[in-house]
């Protein structure tokens, strides 16, 4: 059965011949990143540790707040990136060396639904060299992975809000309660169903025998 990621990748594969690639998003039950270059699981965070410019395996994840340890719904019960008082700005994700991302995904949950699987209302902005190049509203479920693929960006700002209305007000200083875990940077591995597309295309153009 195709998950939401597979359906999205089918659409991407169908347009893979276009001259200019665009940034796309996906949600999935598991990470879709292979060729892993950077990974953060936050398991060494200590309660009340500063989250400002936190670094792990070449990733920098930053919020001007202190860490609070709890067990977000949908995550595995280990430590994760979470500001206990709510971040008053979008969480900032970059590579320590300043390079561009290729593809990246992360597992998400939210303090707005602290004890049950529920919808997480995400707002994400993608930048390159300080210029906003794309932004997304994403509705995902606690515990899902949210990904950004297509490259050409070196910074992600992301937050979660209590409702679509609050998110859509586009106020980065609104208190958000995003919990992040298992951030993976690398290259998206196509879902198995997408691998059928080239073969089907070749069948479609095979010349007839006389």
Distance separating alpha carbons of residues 118 and 139, to the nearest angstrom:
10
12: in domain: no
Q: Tell me the pLDDT tens digit for each residue of 28-44.
A: 999 999 999 999 999 99
Cross-strand partners of 176 = 87
Q: Which of 20-29, 58-67, 103-112, 151-160 has the lowest mean pLDDT?
A: 20-29
179: in domain: yes
189: in domain: yes
pLDDT band with cut points at 50, 70 and 90 for residue 86: low
16: in domain: no
- Structural domain span for residue 162: 32-193
State the total domains in the chain.
1
Greatest alpha-carbon pair distance for the chain in Å reads 76
Q: Contact, 111 vs 86, CB < 8 A?
A: yes
165: in domain: yes
Q: Which of 44-48, 121-125, 147-151, 201-205 has the lowest mean pLDDT?
A: 201-205
Over the chain, what is the mean pLDDT?
Answer: 84
Q: Identify the residue with better confidence: 15 or 136.
A: 136
CA 37, 39, 42 angle in degrees (round to 5)?
165
139: in domain: yes
1: in domain: no
Distance separating alpha carbons of residues 88 and 86, to the nearest angstrom:
6
Residue 75's CATH number: 2.60.120
pLDDT of residue 46: 95
Q: Identify the residue with better confidence: 170 or 38.
A: 38
Q: Which of 95-99, 129-133, 151-155, 159-163 has the lowest mean pLDDT?
A: 159-163
Given a cut of 50, whether residue 175 has pLDDT beyond it is yes
Q: What is the pTM of this model?
A: 0.82
> Going edge to edge, which strands form the sheet with 91-95?
54-56, 59-62, 91-95, 155-161, 119-128, 131-141
Cross-strand partners of 62 = 92
201: in domain: no
pLDDT band with cut points at 50, 70 and 90 for residue 89: confident
Q: Tell me the pLDDT tens digit for each residue of 101-128.
A: 999 999 999 999 898 999 999 999 999 9
């Amino acid at each position: 059965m195709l998950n939401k990621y597979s359906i999205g990748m089918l659409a991407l594969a169908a347009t893979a011949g276009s001259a200019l690639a665009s940034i796309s998003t996906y949600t999935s039950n598991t990470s879709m990143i292979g060729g892993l270059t950077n990974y953060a699981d936050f398991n060494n965070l200590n309660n009340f540790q500063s989250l400002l410019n936190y670094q792990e395996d070449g990733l920098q994840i930053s919020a001007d707040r202190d860490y609070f340890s709890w067990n977000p719904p949908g995550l595995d019960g280990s430590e994760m990136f979470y500001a206990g008082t709510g971040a008053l700005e979008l969480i900032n994700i970059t590579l320590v060396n300043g390079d561009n991302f290729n593809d990246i995904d992360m597992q998400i949950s939210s303090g707005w639904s602290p004890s049950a699987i529920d919808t997480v209302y995400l707002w994400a902005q993608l930048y390159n060299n300080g210029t906003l190049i794309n932004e997304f509203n994403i509705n995902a479920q606690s515990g899902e992975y949210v990904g950004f693929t297509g490259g050409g960006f070196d910074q992600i700002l992301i937050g979660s809000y209590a409702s679509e209305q609050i998110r859509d007000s586009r106020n980065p200083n609104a208190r958000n309660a995003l919990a992040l875990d298992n951030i993976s940077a690398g290259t998206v591995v196509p879902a198995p169903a997408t691998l059928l597309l080239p073969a089907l295309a070749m069948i479609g153009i095979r010349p007839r025998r006389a």
